[in-house]
Structure 1
Amino acid sequence: MNTSQLPSSTDIAIIGAGPSGSVAAALLRQRGWQVCVLERQHFPRFSIGESLLPYCMEILKEAGLLQAVNEGDFQVKNGAAFTWGDRESVIDFRDKFTAGPGTTYQVERARFDHILIQEAERKGAQVWFGHTVNAITTAAEHATLSVSTDQDESYTLRARFVLDASGYGRVLPRLLDLEQPSDFPVREAWFTHIQDNISDPDFDREKIIIATHPQDRAIWMWLIPFSHGRCSIGVVGEPSHLAMNEREPLPFLQDMVNAIPRLRHLLANAQWDTPVRPLRGYSANVTSLYGERYALLGNAAEFLDPVFSSGVTIAMHSAKLATALVDKTLRGQAADWQKDFADALRVGIDTFRTYVAGWYNCSFQDVIYSKHINQDIRRMIAAILAGYAWDTSNPYVEKSERRLKALAEICGEAQLDT
């Protein structure tokens, strides 16, 4: 690469080319801004967070990215099937309280993320792969990034604003000492992709499976069907509950599958052809979502837990909120970052947090596995699980913690049939 070709200045620098970075880049290009995306890795690259929520479709459409995704031959998703022992409870996203799309996709993130960033690039964003941000300084009118490339080159990039969309890399939280411990217990995930060879005619590939371990409700598994007969399979729990010790990852994950009747049946003929990977201590938080000439998007700011697939949805919504305020800021207009970004984003994060916490303390599991849920309430829950966690007209968003607690008390403790 010719050093003279390296970027030296831009209106907005975006760190990371994942979904929030691509959405932010596309939205900012719509508003006419010069955008430079810096991505440490080269695409396509592996990532988890493969089961999207329907609300994502609204944001992708607004960013002009939906058509490319629709043409990507991804597996349609219209809901979630929860299983515990011999019990199953299905949430259909098409039958929900909040208006909006009721279907989405289950995606191999390597291909999905690549499609998004290619579309953002077609819309005029500069995209640089193999570029790592090592330092940042901010001033009243601009920020300066110190960047290195995987070709052993170094340069500085001056930007009028910086958006951190670096995901688990959490670049600015590390560089600006914004890290704050999550109040969730430390959990870990073990996961892989397999050729599932599922032959059961009753199996619905348009729904993610979320499976509760029959002996320990603090452990759960996901099965995310992809197109072309493959799926993502993973287990989540606290290390002390998983009790993996020195076991090899593959037989450990297979034993977890075999402990869950539904998964054992579906995956009886699966071909386990990809190494099992870990993700540990993934929950994270920060002291502030924004500062002078920067803001944090998605997982770079906060990540809760994979159980309800909220990560990409929160990331895209944060991009939508932030880009509107970046536009105002750069045009010299009043931009209330606390009210219209931090507080607005927190509405959905706190809603998801309620139901994630309720899953692990079993109160939300009691609701999900109850045989006597009012259909109107079921639609309200379906809307949240479909990603519409910012719809405060939904009572289970507006006062989520109090209402979930009351609902769980009405449903009573779920019991497996004996």
Structure 2
Amino acid sequence: MNNQIQQADVVIIGAGPSGAVAASLLVNKGWRVVVLEQQVFPRFSIGESLLPQCMHFLAEANLAESVKEQADTLGFQFKNGAAFQRRGEHTAIDFTEKFTQGPGTTFQVKRADFDKCLADGAMEQGAEIRYQHSVIEYTDHGDGALLTVDDEKNQRYQIKGRFVLDASGFGRVLPRLLDLETPSNFPVRWAYFSHFEDNITDDKFDREKILINVHPKHNDIWYWLIPFSDGTASIGVVGKPSQFEDTAPLACLNEFIEQDTYLSELLARRVAIGEARTIKGYSANVASLYGEHFALLGNAGEFLDPVFSSGVTIALKSASLVAPLVDDYLQGKQVDFQAQYSEPLQQGVNCFRTYVAAWYDTSFQDVIFYSEQNQQVREMISAILAGYAWDLDNPFVKQSERRLNTLVELCRD
């Protein structure tokens, strides 16, 4: 091991969206930022349907224009809402018709290319990204934290950061190293998914919206269909472990597609691209989102469920919230990470949690498919599904559970 300890103001674990945004924000404050990424980009990742709120956070970090400029080349699909299908019932939500101010459109992205686009943008702004560098140990070290790292040549070194941000996503590096992981309060679910040439010929199918499709018999099983602009699509199915047979991922996914008449007809000419994948038991939580010299971003802290595509939005919100606090911390100012980071971030996460839980117990499904929707209420719900889960001026954010329960009762009556 190289005995000389390297130095940085901020070390970020992971070069995904939250890591790239945090790095961009902090280098523009003049700090030396080193990003340690275990993999090589581009690499596959799930979470391909962005929410409009993401565009605000990307703009903050000077990364939005790069995404827009490369969208056509990379097959990113313009997105303006979400469509829903359940046993022949069809409805849709337009994100431009929402209660909260801010972007109402975004993109459906191939994450390998999207994440590389953001990482490249962070490097152009001055962040140093080291690919194939794995953090294997973390210790508090005086006025910072000492990380032990294995590089791409399996050579070990140490780097000290005055502050560390864990943006490692599902890798959850610091939660594992510091024993911060706690059980999620969501039931264990599995997801099977793959990319396809979708060959959709139905003129009524709207490629500018993600399709969320409820299983014809089991309301707690759902499918996503995320179209891209190059004629391909990401397709997946989510359910409890007991609802899946022990078969190969692609065979399992195709079997579920065939169980739904609408999907099987819509996707009758689909051709799988590459391997199918599965994620099992993905929901996660932690005991704390921060420590003396670190904070957890995005999925490294908590991941709920993919049903409303909240993962990337929460990740980018966490980066946007924490970067100015780290800037203050490095300047020697007093920072309360509980009151200024953990609690505000959790407020939006809890709002999303309300709607995710209500989706699976079918109460929110009954709201979504209700035929006589009030336009003002519809715009408030649209804002949340567009990612604006931190807007406390929205009653369905501020009192999410109580308001939603009342709405469910009205719809069911």
Q: TM-score range by the shorter chain?
A: over 0.9
- 1:52 — aligned with what? 50
Query: 3-state SS of the aligned residue for 1:71?
Result: helix
In the TM superposition, what is the alpha-carbon distance from 1:183 to its structure 2 partner?
0.4
* Rounded Cα–Cα distance in structure 2 between residues aligned with 1:7 and 1:210: 50
Query: 3-state SS of the aligned residue for 1:102?
Result: coil
8 Å CA contact retained: 2:37, 2:133: yes
1:21 matched to 2:23? The reply is no
Runs of 4+ deviating beyond 3 Å: none
In the TM superposition, what is the alpha-carbon distance from 1:336 to its structure 2 partner?
1.4
* Rounded Cα–Cα distance in structure 2 between residues aligned with 1:337 and 1:149: 31
8 Å CA contact retained: 2:193, 2:250: no
8 Å CA contact retained: 1:139, 1:292: no
In the TM superposition, what is the alpha-carbon distance from 1:249 to its structure 2 partner?
2.3
- 2:79 — aligned with what? 77
In the TM superposition, what is the alpha-carbon distance from 1:399 to its structure 2 partner?
0.3
1:31 corresponds, among 21, 29, 32, to: 29
Query: 3-state SS of the aligned residue for 1:67?
Result: helix
* Rounded Cα–Cα distance in structure 1 between residues aligned with 2:274 and 2:150: 32
1:387 matched to 2:355? The reply is no
- 1:197 — aligned with what? 199
8 Å CA contact retained: 2:192, 2:252: no
TM-score (norm 2): 0.97
* Rounded Cα–Cα distance in structure 2 between residues aligned with 1:80 and 1:144: 44
Letter matched to residue 193 of structure 1: H
* Rounded Cα–Cα distance in structure 1 between residues aligned with 2:251 and 2:289: 41
In the TM superposition, what is the alpha-carbon distance from 1:7 to its structure 2 partner?
7.9
* Rounded Cα–Cα distance in structure 2 between residues aligned with 1:173 and 1:208: 32
Letter matched to residue 273 of structure 1: I
* Rounded Cα–Cα distance in structure 2 between residues aligned with 1:339 and 1:65: 28
In the TM superposition, what is the alpha-carbon distance from 1:273 to its structure 2 partner?
2.8
In the TM superposition, what is the alpha-carbon distance from 1:243 to its structure 2 partner?
2.9
1:314 matched to 2:314? The reply is yes
Describe the superposition over 1:340-392 as per-residue Cα deviations: whole angstroms up to 9, x where unpaired: 10001011000000000000111111101111221111100000000000001
**1:14-413 paired onto structure 2 within 5 Å:** 14-73=12-71, 74-240=76-242, 242-244=243-245, 246-412=246-412
TM-score (norm 1): 0.96
Letter matched to residue 23 of structure 1: V
* Rounded Cα–Cα distance in structure 2 between residues aligned with 1:228 and 1:54: 21
CA RMSD in angstroms comes to 1.4
8 Å CA contact retained: 1:52, 1:312: yes
Query: 3-state SS of the aligned residue for 1:143?
Result: strand
Query: 3-state SS of the aligned residue for 1:205?
Result: coil
Describe the superposition over 1:37-70 as per-residue Cα deviations: whole angstroms up to 9, x where unpaired: 0000000000000000000000100100011100
Query: 3-state SS of the aligned residue for 1:83?
Result: strand
8 Å CA contact retained: 1:84, 1:260: no
* Rounded Cα–Cα distance in structure 2 between residues aligned with 1:395 and 1:380: 8
In the TM superposition, what is the alpha-carbon distance from 1:202 to its structure 2 partner?
1.6
* Rounded Cα–Cα distance in structure 2 between residues aligned with 1:15 and 1:131: 9
- Structure 2 segments unaligned to the other structure (5+ residues): none
In the TM superposition, what is the alpha-carbon distance from 1:262 to its structure 2 partner?
2.5
Describe the superposition over 1:182-234 as per-residue Cα deviations: whole angstroms up to 9, x where unpaired: 00000000000000111111211100000000100010000000120000000
8 Å CA contact retained: 1:29, 1:123: yes
Query: 3-state SS of the aligned residue for 1:42?
Result: coil
* Rounded Cα–Cα distance in structure 2 between residues aligned with 1:410 and 1:53: 28
Seen in structure 2, the aligned counterparts of structure 1 residues 8 and 140 have a Cα distance that, compared at 3 Å, is closer
* Rounded Cα–Cα distance in structure 2 between residues aligned with 1:119 and 1:346: 28
Describe the superposition over 1:71-113 as per-residue Cα deviations: whole angstroms up to 9, x where unpaired: 1222101000010011011010000000110000000000000
Query: 3-state SS of the aligned residue for 2:370?
Result: coil
Query: 3-state SS of the aligned residue for 2:230?
Result: helix
* Rounded Cα–Cα distance in structure 2 between residues aligned with 1:247 and 1:51: 27
- 1:416 — aligned with what? none
Letter matched to residue 254 of structure 1: N
* Rounded Cα–Cα distance in structure 1 between residues aligned with 2:238 and 2:64: 31
Paired-residue identity, %? 55
* Rounded Cα–Cα distance in structure 1 between residues aligned with 2:41 and 2:182: 30
* Rounded Cα–Cα distance in structure 1 between residues aligned with 2:397 and 2:284: 22
* Rounded Cα–Cα distance in structure 2 between residues aligned with 1:36 and 1:150: 16
8 Å CA contact retained: 1:140, 1:292: no
8 Å CA contact retained: 1:304, 1:311: yes
Query: 3-state SS of the aligned residue for 1:371?
Result: coil
* Rounded Cα–Cα distance in structure 2 between residues aligned with 1:224 and 1:38: 30
8 Å CA contact retained: 2:244, 2:252: no
8 Å CA contact retained: 2:227, 2:233: yes
